[in-house]
Structure 1
Amino acid sequence: MPLVTTNYNPPLVFKNGHIATIYAGIFRTISPIGQQRERIDLPDGDFLDLDWSFAPRETDRVVILLHGLEGNAQRPYITGSAKIFNAFGIDACAVNHRSCSGEVNKLFRSYHSGATEDLEATIQYILNTKKYSEIYIKGFSLGANLTLKYLGEGRNVPKQIKAAIAVSVPCSLHSSLVELLKPKNMAYAKRFKNHLLAKLREKQRLFPNLISDMDIKNVKTLKDFDDIYTSRAHGFKNAMDYYKKCSCLQFLPHVKVPSLIINAQNDSFLGPACYPWAYAENNEYLYMEVPKYGGHVGFYDKHNTTYTEKRALKFLEELF
């Protein structure tokens, strides 16, 4: 599809990408939405915690929400999305990636940007045990990459999956990494690294023979973490092999479910390869919207909502 016209125009202060990103990530708060936790068993013996919230009346529609790197189902961008979907008559299933629900997962492996097997397990669980005839997926950052990779990997996507919304997508993981390692993103990269190192130390306590003190000491950058842990734990040769195989960019031509990509021009986490203009133009199922403003998973809007929360609903209304 051609580039989708955008009308997003935030207040002056939120036109700064860093302010938009930081406000959404640290200062925004959402009133409690009454999530109910459900644990599901995974085929490999591990588990996922799903946090559900529901529309006021019974519905046959549900949205699966996927958070970003080191997020969880209680992050404001997840609960804010759940709240607005619920008000619109759509139940919400917010997935906590492995080790992101407050409890470390059982296995040496964890989650990563290409772990679509966990999304597949969630979808199959919903299809097998719930009543929904329409399923939507909305992913943010890492979760957005997962969403588009899942849809384009060549599997038989269940007919119940009707649409997807992908916000702040690092379509090329390496291109995004290059940006994150630049001085402009030093504070973000350090924050991510510290969170990941804390979890790596938890893994070391469970698997002392697989992670050494020297391994932890050698993690100086996010790429080091992916070289030392992510690639080793998930069957990749190294960080670059992981980035190459798990970037959703290569899977976009095969997406056959209507999918909206919303990437801000001033998103400091995204490099040039994260804006898949040509792929969107050549795939009738891809809708690409590139607002001038928004930052990374920011998109401030009035009344404690975000532009992407409202835009997701409008996208569904336009389709159906």
Structure 2
Amino acid sequence: CTEDVTMVICPGIANHSEKQYIRTFVDYAQSSGYRCAVLNHLGALPNIELTSPRMFTYGCTWEFGAMVNYIKKTYPQTQLVVVGFSLGGNIVCKYLGENQANQERVLCCVSVCQGYSALRAQETFMQWDQCRRFYNFLMADNMKKIILSHRHVLFGDNNMKKPHNLADADLGKLYTATSLMQIDDNIMRKFHGYNSLKEYYEEESCLQYLHRIYVPLLLVNAADDPLVHESLLSIPRALSEKRENVMHVLLLHGGHLGFFEGSVLFPEPLTWMDKLVVQYANAICQWEKTKSHCSDTEQAVSGQE
């Protein structure tokens, strides 16, 4: 792409711009002519302390929206390609669907390996097939470490009163949590005042916003993704059948944000997914350019008549 186009990228849960898969993708996108901006989820960057008692949640779009607005203000002529990985896919789709104005200057959106509905996903996260319960435990353990690393800001200490919205948060339950759902119920839903885990998952999922997205939307999943159960894939499939701006790509293999190429022992750093996202963005850029050229030609012809 040779035009002024910026990729605004939202990483997965507890991820940030220093993660290897993000760095690899950004390097490839930049070498293809795109400016890149990556959201560092609040609290995710190691050695960077929080300055207020809140952190990233499953579907909060405030930080991503602030980044997008900053890019639009800093580069008034730029157009945007929106990219979200895993949890980031939920955030970017929810952001675009929340307000029609959020889709201004957006060429397209790509969502990779998200589950679309946390409410429907929570039932599958406790199942052992594809080691899903084990992955749930590992992600919960990582979230615990991040939350506890900011515990003085989030929960107060001897000299600081606990924030009102976290007044009934139980650190004891956090220490013993073995699933993301337990952490979400005890801590995460309270950042935005949800009364129950069900309400939190319903309101923070992009499911109810997908039909409000009108820009080209590419939804990518892998059939062997251990975190996204096959029952969740009916959501993007049904949407793509109803909406002509939506394309759902389902790969047999790829795992969760895998899609590696090369040998099993020595895969290539650049993945098939990196190439797909950039090629799709290139195609949309070319389509927009052709569309604009056709419009200019039609206007010129009309003026001569």
- What TM-score bracket applies, with the shorter chain setting the length? 0.7 to 0.9
**C-alpha distance after superposition, 1:265-314 (max 9, x if no partner):** 11111121244211111112211100111111111124421111111122
2:170/2:186 contact within 8 Å kept: no
- Whichever residue aligns with residue 84 of structure 1, its letter is Y
RMSD across aligned positions (CA) = 2.0
- Whichever residue aligns with residue 261 of structure 1, its letter is L
Q: Which stretch shifts more, 296-305 or 286-295?
A: 296-305
How many equivalent pairs are there?
Answer: 264
- Whichever residue aligns with residue 180 of structure 1, its letter is F
Q: Report which structure shows greater RCO (CA 8 Å, sep ≥6).
A: 1
d(CA) in 1 for partners of 2:219, 2:21: 16
Secondary structure of 2:143's counterpart equals helix
Q: Does 1:282 align with 2:242?
A: yes
- Whichever residue aligns with residue 240 of structure 1, its letter is K
Q: Does 1:82 align with 2:26?
A: yes
The residue number in structure 2 matching 1:195 is: 142
The residue number in structure 1 matching 2:152 is: 205
| 1:180 Cα offset (Å) | 2.8
**C-alpha distance after superposition, 1:20-58 (max 9, x if no partner):** xxxxxxxxxxxxxxxxxxxxxxxxxxxxxxxxxxx9xx9
Q: Structure 1 length as normaliser, TM-score? A: 0.77
| 1:146 Cα offset (Å) | 0.7
The residue number in structure 1 matching 2:271 is: 306
| 1:250 Cα offset (Å) | 1.6
Task: Give the number of the structure whose alpha-carbon radius of gyration is greater.
Answer: 2
d(CA) in 1 for partners of 2:172, 2:253: 42
In percent, how many aligned pairs have the same letter?
Answer: 22
Q: Does 1:273 align with 2:217?
A: no
For 1:291, which of 240, 251, 254 is the aligned residue?
A: 251
d(CA) in 2 for partners of 1:218, 1:187: 15
Q: Does 1:134 align with 2:64?
A: no
For 1:227, which of 158, 162, 185 is the aligned residue?
A: 185
Q: Which stretch shifts more, 108-117 or 58-67?
A: 58-67
| 1:151 Cα offset (Å) | 1.4
The residue number in structure 2 matching 1:68 is: 12
d(CA) in 2 for partners of 1:109, 1:71: 16
Go from structure 1 to structure 2 and tell me whether the alpha carbon gap of 1:212 and 1:250 turns closer, same or farther (over 3 Å shift).
Answer: closer
Go from structure 1 to structure 2 and tell me whether the alpha carbon gap of 1:274 and 1:149 turns closer, same or farther (over 3 Å shift).
Answer: farther
Secondary structure of 1:174's counterpart equals helix
- Whichever residue aligns with residue 253 of structure 1, its letter is H
Q: Does 1:111 align with 2:69?
A: no
d(CA) in 2 for partners of 1:179, 1:81: 30
- Whichever residue aligns with residue 276 of structure 2, its letter is R
2:50/2:150 contact within 8 Å kept: no
The residue number in structure 1 matching 2:296 is: none
1:171/1:249 contact within 8 Å kept: yes
- Whichever residue aligns with residue 25 of structure 2, its letter is S
2:44/2:146 contact within 8 Å kept: no
More helix by share: 2
The residue number in structure 1 matching 2:195 is: 237
Secondary structure of 2:258's counterpart equals coil
Secondary structure of 2:145's counterpart equals helix
Q: Which stretch shifts more, 283-292 or 215-224?
A: 215-224
**C-alpha distance after superposition, 1:42-88 (max 9, x if no partner):** xxxxxxxxxxxxx9xx9622101111112111112211110111111
For 1:264, which of 222, 229, 235 is the aligned residue?
A: 222
Q: Does 1:250 align with 2:208?
A: yes
d(CA) in 2 for partners of 1:101, 1:92: 18
Secondary structure of 2:89's counterpart equals helix
Q: Structure 2 length as normaliser, TM-score? A: 0.80
| 1:219 Cα offset (Å) | 2.4
Q: Which stretch shifts more, 114-123 or 126-135?
A: 126-135
The residue number in structure 1 matching 2:126 is: 181
2:79/2:106 contact within 8 Å kept: yes
The residue number in structure 1 matching 2:117 is: 172
**C-alpha distance after superposition, 1:94-115 (max 9, x if no partner):** 1111011221322222111211
Secondary structure of 1:101's counterpart equals coil
1:175/1:270 contact within 8 Å kept: no
